[in-house]
Amino acid sequence: MIHTRQKLATSERRTCRVIGLARSSLQYRPARRDDDALRLALIRLAKQYGRYGYRKIAELLRIEGWKVNHKKVERIWREEGLQLPQRHKKRRRLYHKDASIIRLRPTHPNHVWSIDFVHDNV
């Protein structure tokens, strides 16, 4: 952009008006922030509180005094590859009215299935 403007010898205002870009956008220089300390604090809390997601971790970081929003915490969370462990559903027993366990007995083909198949790979 700047090289083109220098070649054509046009002003910054005119160039920005022609291409439809705000001058403030052209002059913007992002401030690089060092997130290493935040990253370490996030990993420490994620290890300490294994069942917490990034939202609760963000809240804990704010309690510790970090000025950070949930979007930044989520971005670092994803970059570090952090995730919650999968939840396992509790298996419940089937109880009958008289407190005895119901065992399904097959009454017709394909009624009760079990994993007791043996497959021969020859």
Domain ranges of the chain: 1-30, 36-79
The pLDDT score that the predictor gives to residue 68 is 93
Global model pTM greater than 0.75: no
Asked if residue 38 lies in contact with residue 66, where contact means CB atoms within 8 angstroms, the answer is yes
Instruction: Enumerate residues 6+ apart whose C-beta is below 8 A from 96.
Output: 102
DSSP 3-state of 63: helix
Please write the tens of the pLDDT for every residue from 45-79: 999 998 899 999 999 999 999 999 999 999 999 99
The predicted structure's pLDDT at residue 119? 61
Q: Residue 98, SS3?
A: coil
More confident residue, 44 or 118: 44
Mean pLDDT in residue range 17-46: 89
Give the pLDDT of residue 66. 94
Beta strands in the chain (DSSP E): none
- The predicted model gives 4-23 an average pLDDT of 83
The two structure tokens encoding residue 114: 């079990």
Q: What is the pLDDT of residue 72?
A: 93
Max Cα separation, the chain?
93
**CA of residue 103 relative to chain centroid, distance:** 42
Tell me what pLDDT residue 90 has: 76
DSSP state of 37: H
Amino acid at position 59, single letter: E
Higher pLDDT, 103 or 9: 9
pLDDT band at 28 (very low <50, low <70, confident <90, very high): confident
Strand partners, 101: 95
